[in-house]
Amino acid sequence: MQRALDLLEIVAQTGEIGVTELANEAGLVVSTTHSLVRTLARRHYLLGVNGRYRLGPAATVLSAGWDPMASLSAIVAPVLDDLSAGAGHASTATVVVGRDARIIGFAQAPGPVTATAGGKTWSDPLALATGRLLVAMAHEPEWEAIVDRSHQLNPNPGVQPGWSVRRWLNELRSIQRTGIAVKTSRDPRAAAGIAVPIWARGGAVIASIGCSAPTFLVGDLVNDATLDALWDAASALSAELGCDEPPIPRPRLAPSQAAPNAS
């Protein structure tokens, strides 16, 4: 069973692969791999064309039945409580479903001043640090469409930065490279935020976790202490989801990111 699951994960990561390549990746002999592949294909977990295999409809049905809202909410709740208590800021966990950001967990800051979740579903994921992080890390083919939609939803630069599409794409590339998303605002009533990814087995980013505070507290929020607390929480959640080691090193804030000016 474990070997069959290993093969499915390798096929999912590569997209399409031959039996010999698959055997080499899995550390199995070709005859054993061929036998397992035949069984998986017979059960429709793999589809074979001209000696190469990709995920089949049975695997798709299983993945479609996974509900991140229900599955992850119970896991992230105690982590968010501990994160907010330790970092002193409100904390949020987010997934992207379609092109919407959905809040799956929220914990208030321990003191009298806190940011709010602002609603469960956000049609513009770029309005959240956690949403920006997920767009950057997991939705690259849709970047331009998501940025265009953001401009349509938020024509007021005070709500979103008045950035061009090119400026947004550069920002998303930077987030993808560093694993950190930082959001500030010119609106004093808005919230600033900082976010990092949560990985599952195989290195897929499936959610993000972030801390937020009113804009006037951005200096207390966007610093390496908050980032370290976030990274530790995200690493613990990732380990629960099968990713024992994050695929990128622990990040540090660049000078331009620490206590940034409103944008």
pLDDT category at 2 given cuts 50, 70, 90 is confident
Query: Distance between CA atoms of 180 and 130, rounded to whole angstroms?
Result: 9
Rounded Cα distance between 240 and 171, Å, is: 30
* Residue after which a domain boundary falls, among 45, 64, 83: 64
Cα dihedral 203→130→103→197 (10° resolution) = 20
Let me know whether 10 and 107 are in one domain. Answer: no
| pLDDT value at residue 156 | 65
Q: For residue 1, what are its two tokens?
A: 């069973």
Same domain, 103 and 170: yes
Q: In what order do the strands lie in the sheet with 17-18?
A: 17-18, 52-55, 46-49
Given this model, what pLDDT does residue 261 score?
A: 41
The answer to whether residue 236 is domain-embedded is yes
Provide the pLDDT for residue 258: 65
In this structure, the answer to whether residues 57 and 100 fall within a common structural domain is no
Specify whether 173 is located in the same domain as 191: yes
Residue 260 lies in a domain: no
Among 19, 39, 64, give the residue marking a domain's end.
64
**Would you say residue 262 lies in a domain?**
no
CA distance 209 to 117: 13
E strand or H helix that includes residue 53:
strand 52-55
List beta partners, residue 46: 55
Give the separation between CA 26 and CA 24, rounded to whole angstroms.
5
Domain boundary among 14, 39, 64: 64
Express each pLDDT in 220-241 by its tens digit. 999 999 999 999 999 999 998 8
Let me know whether 21 and 80 are in one domain. Answer: no
Instruction: Tell whether 205 and 157 lie within a shared domain.
Output: yes
Residues 134 and 79 in one domain: yes
Same domain, 83 and 98: yes
Over residues 189-193, the mean pLDDT reads 86
**Per the structure, how many domains does the chain have?**
2
Domain that holds residue 103: 68-240
Question: Would 233 be classed as within a structural domain?
Answer: yes
Residues 201 and 37: their CA atoms lie apart, in Å, by 21
Closest alpha carbon to 8 in 33, 31, 20:
33
Question: Quick check: is 249 in a domain?
Answer: no
In a domain, 263, yes or no: no
Chain length of the chain: 263
Q: Residue 197: inside a domain, yes or no?
A: yes
In a domain, 87, yes or no: yes
Per-residue pLDDT reduced to its tens digit, 36-66: 999 999 888 888 888 899 888 777 666 666 6
Three-point CA angle 256, 261, 263, nearest 5°: 105
**DSSP track, 132-162:** HHHHHHH-GGGHHHHHHHHHHH---TTTS--
Taking the C-alpha atoms of residue 21 and residue 39, their distance in angstroms, rounded to an integer, is: 18
Shared domain check, 193 and 140: yes
What is the reported pLDDT for 139? 85
CATH of the domain at 129: 3.30.450.40
Q: Are residues 23 and 124 in the same domain?
A: no
**Contact assessment for residue 100 and residue 76, using Cβ atoms and an 8 Å cutoff:** no
- The pLDDT value given to residue 263: 40
Give the integer Cα–Cα distance in Å for 8 and 181.
32
- Compute the distance between CA of residue 13 and CA of residue 7 in angstroms, rounded to an integer: 10
Amino acid residing at 52: R
Q: Determine the Cα angle at 165 with ends 247 and 159, to 5°.
A: 95
* Cα–Cα distance list, 207 to 27, 97, 235 (Å): 30, 10, 12
**131-174: per-residue pLDDT in tens?**
999 999 988 999 999 999 998 887 765 556 778 899 999 999 99
CATH number of the domain where residue 14 is located: 1.10.10.10
pLDDT at 24 over 90: yes
**In a shared domain, residues 149 and 224:** yes
Q: What is the pLDDT of residues 62-115, one digit of tens each?
A: 666 666 667 788 899 999 999 999 999 999 999 998 889 999 999 999 988 788
Q: What's the mean per-residue pLDDT of the chain? A: 87
Tokens linked to 77: 């709740």
